[in-house]
């Protein structure tokens, strides 16, 4: 009996040990922005019901945690967009490194020394870098190495209230909005909108600190469509004194003096103005397409007579538009062998769901193989060209978000404070020089 009992005890212990091993989880942390929306999506695992950046990324993590067969649990660490990179830098200094982190490709240059090259890692889990769109491939490549998983291409659009354009006689024979081909033509359209509706042509968030990006993205597009370049003399020598930079600031001065843009609205108020029919065009990003499509389907909506998304137009001489990418990175010191394998497994899941992110988040996919499917979604056929004409600053330019803040704040000073384009350009130059001096 003693031997039998000993054998039985041994079997029970072995079974218990096996059960514990089977239940062991590998937890990985996911540092991200995109907002918090657990009240709406905290338990959602239906990707077809997810809408918006927050809804989709929250749902994707839920699905992965519920379905992966490797006992991996992703723990999101949600950080506000504005201070995200400052907090990430502080965490790195404290050696509190997340396993996976979101990063704009425009920021990778500032973190180039600590992002891991991933060419071989991607090959090991079946992520095909040859399927990256050209814009995305450029965005994630550092010193010839793929250093991030591209997640989307996002860009700057004109979101148009087609009903207001119709009232002003600014639609073609098919009922589509006529897109101006010059600043003078745009100003003439603005006058017609004001005459027909009593409302301004544009709305845009210009008040809150986070709204600086809005003006900067418009400025960059206006600069690029002229063939301009802030860094023609090198990444350490920004130049706001070029004719192209001056014209970009003058655009905002002209629409402000004409009363063609709303003043003193933060992003939420500008969104409300557009949804309420208080402006004909909202300058904001690709991420708003689904929101406006949903609004246009409501019978009491100011967009019920039509909504259109268009790439921020070329009103000068070449088709170019500001564009950036979100991406996912592995940072040096953030993983041991176990969590690195889990992190790559999660990244492969994200890669497989890139079209879902593009559909729900509103951005362009970064998989060439997904572009045809994406272009079939409502209004997306009007923006797919961004993957070909999108332009970002060279990675050699450091402190790109700092430049974005400078440019956007000067644009907002023109709109809200009546600052002249010349004064904005002068102050932008002084501030840019100081930014790099203190780098």
pLDDT of residue 361: 83
136 shares its domain with 170: no
Residue 419 sits in a domain whose CATH number is 3.40.190.10
Alpha-carbon span 109 to 405, nearest angstrom: 17
272 shares its domain with 360: no
DSSP symbols for 81-124: TTTHHHHHHHHHHTT---SEEEEEGGGGGGGTTTBPP-HHHHHH
Place of tokens 């860094």: 231
186 shares its domain with 279: yes
Alpha-carbon span 259 to 181, nearest angstrom: 20
Alpha-carbon span 169 to 178, nearest angstrom: 9
396 shares its domain with 381: no
Q: What angle do CA 131, 136, 137 make, to 5 degrees?
A: 65
pLDDT of residue 10: 54
Residue 110's domain spans which residues? Answer: 26-154+324-385
Alpha-carbon span 303 to 426, nearest angstrom: 40
- Is residue 375 domain-resident? yes
Q: Give Cα 201 to chain centroid, integer Å.
A: 24
295 shares its domain with 181: yes
Average pLDDT, the chain: 93
- Is residue 14 domain-resident? no
Q: Choose one of 385, 404, 426: the last residue of a domain.
A: 385
302 shares its domain with 224: yes
Strand 307-311 and strand 149-161: the pairing is: antiparallel
37 shares its domain with 114: yes
pLDDT reading at 8 higher than 80: no
pLDDT of residue 209: 82
pLDDT reading at 6 higher than 80: no
pLDDT of residue 3: 52
Tell me the mean pLDDT in the region 87-99: 95
> pTM of the full predicted structure?
0.89
Measure the N-to-C terminal CA separation of the chain; round to a whole number of Å.
Answer: 78
3-class secondary structure per residue, 257-303: HCCCECCCCCHHHHHHHHHCCCCCEEEEEHHHHHHHHHHHCCCCCCC
Phi, psi of 321 (to 5 degrees): -145, 145
**Which pLDDT band, with edges at 50, 70 and 90, does 145 fall under?**
very high
Strand 72-78 and strand 281-285: the pairing is: unpaired
The predicted-structure confidence for 228-250, as pLDDT tens digits, reads as follows: 999 999 999 999 999 999 999 99
280 shares its domain with 343: no
344 shares its domain with 275: no
Q: What torsion, rounded to 10 degrees, do the Cα atoms 119, 121, 125, 129 define?
A: -10
Alpha-carbon span 316 to 241, nearest angstrom: 18
pLDDT of residue 438: 72
> Helix, strand, or coil here: 77?
strand
296 shares its domain with 206: yes
> Helix, strand, or coil here: 399?
coil
**Which pLDDT band, with edges at 50, 70 and 90, does 439 fall under?**
low
- Is residue 407 domain-resident? yes
361 shares its domain with 232: no
pLDDT of residue 20: 45
The predicted-structure confidence for 279-317, as pLDDT tens digits, reads as follows: 999 999 999 998 899 999 999 999 999 999 999 999 999
Tell me the mean pLDDT in the region 115-130: 97
173 shares its domain with 315: yes
């Amino acid at each position: 009996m003693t031997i039998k009992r000993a054998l039985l005890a041994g079997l029970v212990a072995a079974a218990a040990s096996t059960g514990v091993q089977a239940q062991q989880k590998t937890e990985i942390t996911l540092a991200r922005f995109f907002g918090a929306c657990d009240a709406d999506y905290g338990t959602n695992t239906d990707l077809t019901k997810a809408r918006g950046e927050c809804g989709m990324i929250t749902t994707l993590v839920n699905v992965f945690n519920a379905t992966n067969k490797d006992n991996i649990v992703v723990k999101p660490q949600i950080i506000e967009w504005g201070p995200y990179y400052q907090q990430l830098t502080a965490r790195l200094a404290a050696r509190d490194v997340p396993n996976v982190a979101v990063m704009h490709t425009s920021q990778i240059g500032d973190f180039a020394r600590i992002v891991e090259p991933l060419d071989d890692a991607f090959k090991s889990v079946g992520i095909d870098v040859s399927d990256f769109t050209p814009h995305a491939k450029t965005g994630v490549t550092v010193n010839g190495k793929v250093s991030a998983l591209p997640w989307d291409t996002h860009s700057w659009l004109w979101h148009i209230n087609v009903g207001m354009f119709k009232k002003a006689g600014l639609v073609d024979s098919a009922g589509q909005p006529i897109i101006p081909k010059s600043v003078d033509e745009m100003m003439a359209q603005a006058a017609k909108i004001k005459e027909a509706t009593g409302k301004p042509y544009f709305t845009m968030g210009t008040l809150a600190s986070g709204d600086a990006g809005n003006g900067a993205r418009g400025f960059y597009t206006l600069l690029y469509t002229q063939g301009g370049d802030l860094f023609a003399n090198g990444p350490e020598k920004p130049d706001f004194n070029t004719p192209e930079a001056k014209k970009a600031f003058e655009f905002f001065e002209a629409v402000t003096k004409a009363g063609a843009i709303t003043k003193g609205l933060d992003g939420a108020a500008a969104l409300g103005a557009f949804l309420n029919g208080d402006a004909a065009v909202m300058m904001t990003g690709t991420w708003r397409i689904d929101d406006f499509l949903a609004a246009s389907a409501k019978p009491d909506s100011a967009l019920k007579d039509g909504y259109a998304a268009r790439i921020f137009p070329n009103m000068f001489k070449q088709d170019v538009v500001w564009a950036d990418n979100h991406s996912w990175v592995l940072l040096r010191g953030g993983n041991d062998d176990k969590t690195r394998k889990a992190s790559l497994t999660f990244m492969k899941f994200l890669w497989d769901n890139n079209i879902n992110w593009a559909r729900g988040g509103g951005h362009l996919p970064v998989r060439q193989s997904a572009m045809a499917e994406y272009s079939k979604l409502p209004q997306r056929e009007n923006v797919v060209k961004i993957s070909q004409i999108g332009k970002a600053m060279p990675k050699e330019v450091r402190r790109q978000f700092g430049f974005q803040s400078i440019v956007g704040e000067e644009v907002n000073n023109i709109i809200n404070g009546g600052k002249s384009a010349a004064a904005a350009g002068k102050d932008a130059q002084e501030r840019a020089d100081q930014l790099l001096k203190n780098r």
